[in-house]
Amino acid sequence: MAAAAGSSSAAGSNHSLLSLNPKPLCCPQGGFFYAEIRHTYAGGQTNRLGYGVRPPVWYSFPMTQYPHGMLVTRTHDEEARQAYAMAIRKHLAANVAGGNRTAYAVQVEPPFVKAHGHKPKDRHEVREVMTKNGYYQFYSAMQRHTQEMTFDSVIDSVERQLPALIDRAKALDGKAGGSLKLNPALEIPSYHTAYDIHLQPGAYHSEFTAGDVFAGALYDRATYLYAMGNLGPMMELFGRSLIAYYKKLVPDAAPKRILDVGCTVGHSTLAWKRAFPDAEVYAIDVAAPCLRYGHARAEAMGVAVHFSQQNGEHTDFPDGFFDVVCSHIIMHETSTRAAPRIFGESRRILAPGGTMLHMDNPRLGELSPIDGFLAEWEVTNNNEHFGGTYRAADLAALGRAGGWPADQVVFDFVPLEMPPKVMNYTTKAVQFPCVTARKDVAVAKLAAE
């Protein structure tokens, strides 16, 4: 395809690229999906490249997402459009975003110092002046446009295949031993219904037809593009990173039951089942279309997970049922009232000695004023309105507000297993904050201060 051919040229090839064929190999290399790329050039020369989760940047095209049985297929034009959407995101992140710091240092900070006698002391003061800067305005407009473009590039693929995807989800039910339980009477919390989170059209919970999986299918593909491939072909980076942290926190861990709160389509959930194959793994979310899709995806990938439609603030699980209750980058999508309730509910359903792990997006206050401002772009531009509050909150205090004793809950950091070289909005975050707690066990931070 044209985008791939251009990428080959960027890599220094002197040949004319005729084809670029991804060949998925279902064998893990260090636990990551492994793939083989074959290039065929004019003249008959064929080169082969094998890679795991970290191919050269010019190979990180959308086709590297693991082709599980529920993933939407793409026509040539759809593939090219999606490749462009991800490529422009990478360009903004790698080549444009950094210019904001130069604009700030040269055009914004000096006049501020002259007017006020001091540099901006926090991201809020930076926002007052930086949002008036032409370079930042251009960058922000482009960033917003690429977010909308990402979903637009995937919607056609999903709409075209929706009836087939619904039928496929029904056919996959029970293939791997997992389960799905929906609750049509569940009240969807207002922090989900008030706006389209991440600008995903219809958000995650909207249903338009019987057995709808639209929101899940859209989220799965669009999130791969949004993350620029950084989460890996199976989208498990956050899950794998939190598991590695958990194993250090509890070296002899052998959990019997694990719950993933706010699982969406189960990207991180499946990593827990692979890490602890003898455990029963459960996953809850309020969005039925995502749960239907996530259940079918797990079944297609041969992973048994028990999905159910529930609100993490109050579940139907019995007291002391789980050994691990966790979440992956979901708490900032809740609310000031909901967060302590989720922490309290996690405590109720944990067995004595059980572990709570709620990992979320990078902090804001610990960054420099300009980096904190850039890192919170999603808060004001991408419908993550609670994100600014949560990412600056005293997370241990929120845990205590949920009923955790002070010696059993800490605010810690989880290092990413394979930190990306280029991230959306900021490259300063390779550790993600986590509310860590152990029921009836004193807990200490693992990360260095």
**How high is the pLDDT of residue 70?**
98
Which residues of the chain does CATH 3.40.50.150 include? 197-212+233-438
The more confidently predicted of residues 126 and 63 is: 126
What rounded mean pLDDT belongs to the chain?
Answer: 86
**How high is the pLDDT of residue 429?**
55
Q: Residue for token digits 């199976």?
A: 234
- 8 A C-beta contact, residue 184 and residue 228: no
Name the CATH superfamily, with its identifier, for domain 197-212+233-438. Answer: Vaccinia Virus protein VP39 (3.40.50.150)
Number of Cβ within a 10 Å radius of residue 35? 24
- pLDDT for residue 274 is more than 80: yes
Starting at the edge strand found earlier in the chain, the sheet holding 46-51 runs 17-29, 32-41, 46-51
Q: Which residues of 39-60 are buried (b: 16+ CB within 10 A; e: fewer)?
A: bebeeeeeeeeebbbebeebbb
Percent of the chain past pLDDT 90, that is, above it, reads 78
- pLDDT for residue 237 is more than 80: yes
What's the farthest any 2 CA atoms get from each other in the chain?
Answer: 70
- pLDDT for residue 24 is more than 90: no
- 8 A C-beta contact, residue 358 and residue 435: yes
87 is written with which tokens? Answer: 């490529």
Residue 420 — pLDDT band, cuts 50, 70, 90?
confident
CA–CA dist 37, 74 (Å, integer): 18
CA–CA dist 435, 417 (Å, integer): 18
**How high is the pLDDT of residue 7?**
33
End-to-end CA distance of the chain: 48
Q: Which residues of 382-411 are buried (b: 16+ CB within 10 A; e: fewer)?
A: bbbbbbbebbbbebbebbbebbbeeebbbb
**pLDDT tens-digit readout, 146-167:** 999 999 999 999 999 999 999 9
**How high is the pLDDT of residue 143?**
96
Residues 6 or more apart whose Cβ sits within 8 Å of residue 323: 255, 256, 257, 258, 279, 350, 351, 353, 354, 355
